[in-house]
Amino acid sequence: MRIGIVGYGAGGRYFHAPFIKAAEGIELVGVVARSQDKRAQVGADFPGLPVYGSLSEMLDAGVDAVAITTPPHTRHGLVLEAIAAGVHVVADKPFGPNAEGGRKLAEAAEAAGVVLNVFHNRRRDADFLTLAKVLASGELGTTWRVHSIMDQNHAQTLELGATGGLLRDLGSHLVDQMLWLLGPATHVYATLDWTDRFGELTDCGFAVTMTHASGAVSTVSASKLNHSTTRELRAYGSEGSYIASGADVQADALAAGRRPAAEPETWGIDVAENWGILATSAGRRPIPSAQGNYATFYTEFARAVRGGGPAPVPAQEGIRTLEVLDAARRSAQERCVVAL
């Protein structure tokens, strides 16, 4: 499958391109980048790879699929343009301005007969997959509560304005993780932290609590302006607890210049000192890290386009996440619990 990347900011450069190159059954055939700096980065990273000035130029050149990684306020229109051209699409998160916008994209994709998926790659984080393995083992008994904290000390990366904010950015990932792990939510309660430090009022921190149809409760929280770099997962069940304080393994590896294609056997495995502790009546023991690898998203996407397997994150699952984000924003504004 021939795929092009639309946008070469941090997302396109670090969270899409390296994993497309490491995936099976897919070939990176071009990038849309306008600024001279971004075009130079593409040339340095992938010598000889075609660089286009617009999505329409790339579509005219011929691709089977595109990954849309541009800023949120441009994403909706570009996804529609690609769908109208009969091209399969991976849309970065949040893939719509709200749940209604996501439904319109899903309807357009279905009418055009193309595969539309949302890049919820953090389902493939090492620490999260390890937590999922613990819950699946049954050792915690009935799952009562799961807590996820992901603070980042990156104020300069906060997306501003009505289409930005940390809830729709990092919150998209953390909410999606819990919906994938614990099933659909029935009720949402949220609080948001706001700042006008950068000229536009923007949410820069959040805490979202979801009650799931399964009976479990999850709370996800994050901040970007509190000088905290924290990653912690906690799960409590009828038979014990699991607590892990680790690192953003794949992001840290990418920042250090490592690439998944160069180390497929060891990529995305957290170091032993970060392994979580499972505590039950049988005692306490560390749980070895699962292997995380975002490349498997693109392997599965290419397979789904060929009709050879399920899509990794279908548009309907992205809509489910957007519904929770919409409810969280309403909950914070009205100081109420929102039923879905």
What CATH code is carried by the domain that includes residue 110? 3.40.50.720
Q: Do 64 and 142 fall within a single domain?
A: no
pLDDT at 69: 96
What strands, in cross-sheet order, belong to the sheet with 338-339? Answer: 283-287, 276-280, 240-245, 230-237, 143-151, 217-223, 202-212, 185-195, 338-339
pLDDT at 25: 96
pLDDT at 159: 87
Q: Do 203 and 289 fall within a single domain?
A: yes
Per the domain annotation, does 326 fall within a domain?
no
pLDDT at 290: 97
Domain of 184, CATH number, reads 3.30.360.10
pLDDT at 127: 97
pLDDT by residue for the chain (340 residues), tens only, comes to 999 999 999 999 999 999 999 999 999 999 999 999 999 999 999 999 999 999 999 999 999 999 999 998 899 999 999 999 999 999 999 988 899 999 999 999 999 999 999 999 999 999 999 999 999 999 999 999 999 999 999 888 888 877 789 999 999 999 999 999 999 999 999 999 999 988 889 999 999 999 999 999 999 999 999 999 999 999 999 999 999 998 889 999 999 999 999 999 999 999 999 999 999 999 999 999 999 999 999 999 999 999 999 999 999 999 999 999 999 999 999 999 999 9
Per the domain annotation, does 330 fall within a domain?
no
Per the domain annotation, does 83 fall within a domain?
yes
Q: Do 80 and 91 fall within a single domain?
A: yes
Q: Do 115 and 154 fall within a single domain?
A: no
Per the domain annotation, does 331 fall within a domain?
no
Q: Are 151 and 158 in contact (CB under 8 A)?
A: no
pLDDT at 246: 84
Q: Do 88 and 168 fall within a single domain?
A: no
Per the domain annotation, does 286 fall within a domain?
yes
Q: Rounded distance, CA 86 to CA 83, Å?
A: 5
* Burial (CB count within 10 angstroms: exposed 0-12, middle 13-18, buried 19+), residue 57: middle
What is the residue range of 154's domain?
122-293
Q: Do 104 and 138 fall within a single domain?
A: no
pLDDT at 26: 97
Place of tokens 């409810």: 327
Per the domain annotation, does 135 fall within a domain?
yes
Per the domain annotation, does 90 fall within a domain?
yes
Q: Do 115 and 102 fall within a single domain?
A: yes
Q: Rounded distance, CA 188 to CA 197, Å?
A: 28
Nearest to 287 by CA among 239, 242, 240, 246: 242
Per the domain annotation, does 184 fall within a domain?
yes
Q: Do 144 and 268 fall within a single domain?
A: yes
Q: Is the dihedral of CA 59, 123, 244, 164 positive or negative?
A: positive
Q: Do 153 and 89 fall within a single domain?
A: no
Q: Do 144 and 225 fall within a single domain?
A: yes
Q: Do 138 and 89 fall within a single domain?
A: no
pLDDT at 35: 94
Q: Do 33 and 180 fall within a single domain?
A: no
Q: Please state the domain count of the chain.
A: 2
pLDDT at 156: 85
pLDDT at 161: 79
